[in-house]
Structure 1
Amino acid sequence: MQWRNSTEGYGAVPQMMHWITVVLVILAWLLGQFDDIFPKGVARAASLFVHISAGLAVISILVLRLFWRLADPPPPIERTILSVWVDRAGRLAHYVLYALLIAVPVSGIILQFSRGDALPLFGLVQIASPWVGDRAFEHTVKEIHEVMANALVILAAFHAAAALVHHWVLRDRTLVRMLPRA
């Protein structure tokens, strides 16, 4: 097993961080979308705790990914029959994905504080809200958080679809490079 990136593909560490991020984003998004199916009380509080923990884990893994990327540059872009503009669009999409992976959890933290609630850090400690709860501010932040979360999931779906197009239509190694080696 190759831990670091090579010219052929991504190493096990970047792959693991990528796929864990995928799972955490899906989990957080689903819990955020369907939080009202949980009865009020312990079940809904547990759902919110897992939602918040998943968001905090996304930020943590993203920071690790960025440091790993500095120490272990990714493999070169797979050349395709598509124009350089499509390559640039893919690069821009990656930058926007990274920005949303930061902005969505940060807006979630602000949302938690706007309620006047403490932020639980994985059940270990709680950070007290620096503000008193403010319903109008909470509503605005919640709308922003939801729009960005939906944008993240939609862009991630396009990212996945592009990887499948690379694999099945263009028949290049773009997708295979991020999959664990068999």
Structure 2
Amino acid sequence: MPMRNDSQAYGAAARFAHWATALCVFLAWPLGMFRNLAPRGAPRDTDLFIHMTLGLGVLLLLVFRLAWRALDPPPPAVVAPRFEPWIGYAAKAGHILLYVLLIATPLLGIVLQFARGQALPLFGLLAIPSPWAFDRDLVGQLVPIHQFAGDALCVMAIGHAGAALFHHWILRDRTLTRMLPVTQR
């Protein structure tokens, strides 16, 4: 599979970034949602470390995706002639919202970690010290916002997958297959 996109399908780099992002999101979400079910101490700390590592992975993958998209534009969208133009606008709006949530959710998590007065571990290699002391009020405000953003991101990602399946099974076009990791061109 070629590294770059062409007019018919996404290249290996775009596919890798897409599926790696999806994997990070869907692994990070339950770790964040159910973290408090883990016993206090090392298990809960490990859960949070993995959650933050996956969130940072999402952020790094997004930077790569946006840079790659600028260097290697995606193939044109598949046009379904039987639908109104607003479907295309809705798809664009959905993609923009996904990107906004892919940026906002990890950034909120970083600010939340700093509001706890704790360092931000960078993949276990080093840690960025918190620029702030613990701020209980800020933590109390950020937790539900970060959780809402994570929930919204998962809902949007599920909707994105549903739209891809709609294209595949109902419209019977190549929208899904041109992004699958093992599709032949």
Task: For residue 128 of structure 1, report the CA deviation from its aligned partner.
Answer: 0.8
Aligned equivalent of 1:171? 172
- Aligned counterparts, 1:7-46, within 5 A: 7-46=7-46
| Unaligned runs of at least 5 residues, structure 2 | none
Task: For residue 3 of structure 1, report the CA deviation from its aligned partner.
Answer: 1.1
Aligned equivalent of 1:48? 48
1:45-101 residue CA offsets vs partner (Å, 9 max, x unmatched): 111000000000100010001110011000001010212110110011001100100
TM-score, scaled relative to structure 2: 0.96
Q: Secondary structure at the match of 2:127?
A: strand
Task: For residue 2 of structure 1, report the CA deviation from its aligned partner.
Answer: 1.4
Q: 2: distance between equivalents of 1:36 and 1:169? A: 41
Aligned equivalent of 2:122? 121
Q: 2: distance between equivalents of 1:57 and 1:107? A: 14
Q: Secondary structure at the match of 1:177?
A: coil
Q: 1: distance between equivalents of 2:66 and 2:155? A: 22
Q: 2: distance between equivalents of 1:126 and 1:70? A: 30
Aligned equivalent of 2:133? 132
Aligned equivalent of 1:57? 57
Q: 1: distance between equivalents of 2:79 and 2:145? A: 37
Aligned AA (2:40)? K
Task: For residue 131 of structure 1, report the CA deviation from its aligned partner.
Answer: 0.7
TM-score, scaled relative to structure 1: 0.98
Aligned equivalent of 2:94? 93
Q: 2: distance between equivalents of 1:171 and 1:110? A: 43
1:152-181 residue CA offsets vs partner (Å, 9 max, x unmatched): 000111110010001001111111110122
Aligned equivalent of 1:148? 149
Count of aligned pairs:
182
Q: 1: distance between equivalents of 2:83 and 2:173? A: 11
Task: For residue 37 of structure 1, report the CA deviation from its aligned partner.
Answer: 2.4
Across the aligned residues of Structure 1 and Structure 2, the Cα RMSD in angstroms comes to: 0.8
Q: Secondary structure at the match of 1:2?
A: coil
Identity percentage of aligned residues: 48
Aligned equivalent of 1:72? 72
Aligned AA (1:153)? C
